[in-house]
Amino acid sequence: MVNDLSCILFKHYAKHQELKWRRASNYMFQAASTIAKRYFLVGCNHAETKYRVLKIDRTEPKDLVIIDDKHVYNQLEARELLGRLDLGNRTKIGQKGSSGLSKAVTACGIVGFVRFLEGYYIVLITKQRKVADIGGHSIYKIEDTNMIYIPNDSVRITHPDEASYSYDLSHSLQYNLSILKTPCDLKSEEILTQNRQDSFDIFEDEGLPTQVDQADPYAHVAALHFDQMMQRFGSPIIILNLVKKREKRKHEKILSEELYPAVTYLNQFLPPQYQIDYIAWDMAKYTKSKLYNVLDRLSWIAENVVKRTGFFVNRPDFYCSTLRPDERWGDLGGFVTNHGRIQTGVLRTNCVDCLDRTNTAQFMVGKCALAYQLYALGLIDKPKLQFDTDCVRLFEELYEDHGDTLSLQYGGSQLVHRVKTYRKIAPWTQHSKDIMQTLSRYYSNAFSDADRQDSINLFLQVFQPFENKPHLWELPTDTYLHNKNTMHYSYFRRRLTLDIRRKILSYVLNDWDRFKVWTDYGTGDNYTTQEHYKSEMLKPFTYGSACELMDATELFGCRFQVYRNGQMVYTFRTPANAS
């Protein structure tokens, strides 16, 4: 890998086969007889002493064909290679106006490749800004990108934000140092402070108010989520659930009613030492109260969390911890090795959007872990940091920038409630900004949340578009993305399902006056016309309702039982099998 990569993308022009039979003017050749058959991606290090060349084939309409010769060129060799490619592919030898190579773009790095229906695109970083150093590794903020379509026009099939060159930001420093053995001079890292966006889908319906549209009685999705967390972080896994406990109209509480039973169900299969800890605390209620201090309570929770998980530092304890002992030092969790301390386990925090309350809670835990890390390095006398210090102010700014970035991505607005809000020292002008941010987020959640989630699923390749498959916007929930078998049906099963759907549809339409009051358009309203009902029910992912279950019992002589939260709430059956 070449560090401090910068790259230039060249178009490689080759003569069309028709040029073998006739001569053409320069204009005709460039306009109609030349095609860009390849991209050459040339990367070099900051000192321009090492070069690598990546060849990307542009003649494949759907497949990504990349050739890497693995050779590291010096500057002279790279120039000679490009010169030969340029000279050997001109339309006329010595004619400068018809170059075999044409510079397409200059970039700082490669984000990756993404596939859409018309083929692959390459995503390049075209503007960056250095924001940090981690142990000698430079961390950059991506300022701008450019997405370039790879296949050329002759084969095109038409249809009717941080990065580093040498450091893996997708893993914690503990992982990079302990597992990958990366040489590094940095002595500590905020593992606990990372605002993890790991989550599992409890099938929350888009928009407000909160609705749960699918049941998961055996907590299958939650099991996959916590199994992944156990593999990545070890035990204990501590859940801090910050949603409201009491509401006049249930909204946030619905999420707790799904989360807590799932954790309780999973714990019965885990040994006692590996069971998931569940902490429910109504942070919004404490915020409104004048008798309690929110941050004091969070500080107490943070101390208990760090006491159980420990923290990471990759050097032995200094003598100062023995010279100036602290009563809490000997009770810390994690592992102590000859080379330092290893954190085991993680705190998983959530609210509704996992933004404002979550970010503040994670900040308090991170502040606590930072105090222990600085104490371990001999920089402070006690493992405790006061708010009004330069260190904590910088740390708070870091978390607010972090929270704003996540909030803009997930909620469409910046943070509404910040650390200063919960400290109750925010200026009065902040209140008007909070109101505008709240309105912006409400609008975003109600009207554009689904489109934003679709974009994220597409960018992360959770959804990959293919012909003869449903479009992303046709899927009613993410369930179909995380359960691939639901997207693949054999021809026989597809035909059988369609035949059953059509029989039920015909049965309803033949007795429309009786059944129309039982139909449900998905909003609680009935379908108004037979034509509208028919067009919707013929779509493959339209949900059925009580109407279709009643029809199926009469058509096929079967019985359907409807369960909610593991309890049977209704049974559909014909009079013949009513017993």
Checking if the pLDDT of 71 tops 70, the result is yes
Between CA 281 and CA 230 the distance in angstroms is: 23
3: number of Cβ within 10 Å: 14
AA identity, residue 53: V
Predicted model pTM = 0.60
Q: Which strands, in side-by-side order, build the sheet including 109-116?
A: 109-116, 119-134, 137-149, 162-163
Instruction: For residue 214, give the nearest of 482, 540, 445 by alpha carbon.
Output: 482
AA identity, residue 341: R
Can you give the pLDDT at residue 57? Answer: 87
Between CA 65 and CA 426 the distance in angstroms is: 55
**Tens digit of each residue's pLDDT (9 = 90 or more) over 395-404:** 999 888 888 8
DSSP label of 73:
B
Instruction: For residue 524, give the nearest of 539, 543, 502 by alpha carbon.
Output: 543
| 530 or 485: which leads in pLDDT | 530
Can you give the pLDDT at residue 103? Answer: 77
Q: Residues of the chain with pLDDT > 90: what percent?
A: 14
Can you give the pLDDT at residue 214? Answer: 67
- Mean pLDDT highest for which of 16-30, 56-70, 361-375, 425-439? 361-375
Can you give the pLDDT at residue 458? Answer: 82
Q: Do the bridges between strand 277-280 and strand 237-241 make them parallel or antiparallel, or are there none, so unpaired?
A: parallel
**Tens digit of each residue's pLDDT (9 = 90 or more) over 373-429:** 998 888 888 889 998 889 999 999 988 888 888 877 776 677 777 888 887 776 666
Checking if the pLDDT of 34 tops 50, the result is no
Between CA 475 and CA 542 the distance in angstroms is: 9
The beta-strand segments (E) located in 271-399 are 277-280, 335-337, 340-342, 346-350
| 177 or 511: which leads in pLDDT | 511
Between CA 413 and CA 232 the distance in angstroms is: 31
* CA-to-CA separations, 119 to 79, 149, 487, 554, in angstroms, rounded: 31, 8, 21, 48
Q: In this structure, what is the dihedral angle of CA atoms 218, 222, 226, 229, given to the nearest 10 degrees?
A: 150
**Tens digit of each residue's pLDDT (9 = 90 or more) over 99-136:** 567 777 888 888 888 877 678 888 989 899 998 888 88
**Tens digit of each residue's pLDDT (9 = 90 or more) over 531-575:** 888 888 877 667 677 788 888 888 887 777 776 666 677 777 665
The beta-strand segments (E) located in 97-253 are 101-107, 109-116, 119-134, 137-149, 162-163, 237-241
Q: pLDDT averaged over the chain?
A: 76
Checking if the pLDDT of 41 tops 60, the result is yes
Q: Residues of the chain with pLDDT > 70: what percent?
A: 72
DSSP label of 303:
H
In terms of C-beta density within 10 A (0-12 exposed, 13-18 middle, 19 or more buried), how is residue 223 classed?
middle
Checking if the pLDDT of 358 tops 80, the result is yes
Largest CA distance in the chain: 93
Checking if the pLDDT of 345 tops 70, the result is yes
Checking if the pLDDT of 4 tops 50, the result is no
